[in-house]
Amino acid sequence: MANKGKIPGKYTNNERRSRNTKFSEKAKPRNIERKISGTKPPESMRLNKFIANSGVCSRREADTLITKGEIKVNGNVVKEMGLTVSINDKVEYKGKKLIPEKKVYLLLNKPKDTVTTSSDPEGRKTVIEIIRNACPQRVYPVGRLDRNTTGVLLLTNDGELSKQLTHPSFEAKKIYHVFLNQPLAPAHLESIKNGIELEDGLVKPDAVNYVDGDPMQAGIEIHSGKNRIVRRIFEHFGYQVEKLDRVYFAGLTKKNLPRGKWRFLADKEVRFLKAGIKTPKPEK
């Protein structure tokens, strides 16, 4: 008898192999279909994020463009806030198709005699020339450092982050190492700590002191983004800044990064950078 010795409800070895073959054959068409259609659906995101990722502006500014009817999606003007689009959708601004880019973040230890611009009409060396072959994306400096100021400089194509880090209300911390042409008088140091009035308003550093007790050197922590602010603070008292080095910017330092060299930020650094941005103070 063929079924002699068979336990009810159990398969013989031959039956098990036959069953497995049938099951695997039934599964094949589904696997093939899934492979053909792609394992991942098109990436989707809110329209304002799509616009910001393309480098046009920040998300908040993108909202304004949308409400003004300046954005088209697949040929149609949209004014709906919170609209979700796919990377396969055609999004246009001023007749130009927008393409969201992968965000990149580079840290440069800026050398002396280099301008913080994309190009220079006077033919001087720019920071963009230093990192020219770093990535296919077009990146821009976050803020500016004077031509002869050295140190930490962030470059990115993340327009929203760049705007946040450079706006005074977000209070991105910056620390500079200042080398003076003569000893900094204690009275002047105290005046700087208390805040001084310059031609464009009151400036008060977050902290300032001698470096290692040397009156020829000062460390100053400040979040103001005014033009040449550190140099002007010391020039106000008649000092000449012979050397100025930014050693800290928004949590980033130049540790293990030689002058004139650059590196990409690690994902962890980017997360810390974004997490460290303070909520802007409400306007009075």
Residues with catalytic annotation?
146
CA–CA distance from 106 to each of 109, 126, 212 (Å)? 10, 15, 31
The angle subtended at Cα 176 by Cα 173 and Cα 180, nearest 5°, is 155
**Residue among 107, 170, 111, 96 nearest 141 (CA):** 107
Q: First vs last Cα of the chain: how many Å apart?
A: 95
CA–CA distance from 73 to each of 54, 97, 126 (Å)? 14, 10, 37
Burial class (CB in 10 A: 0-12, 13-18, 19+), 17: exposed
Q: For residue 125, how far is the Cα from the chain centroid?
A: 23
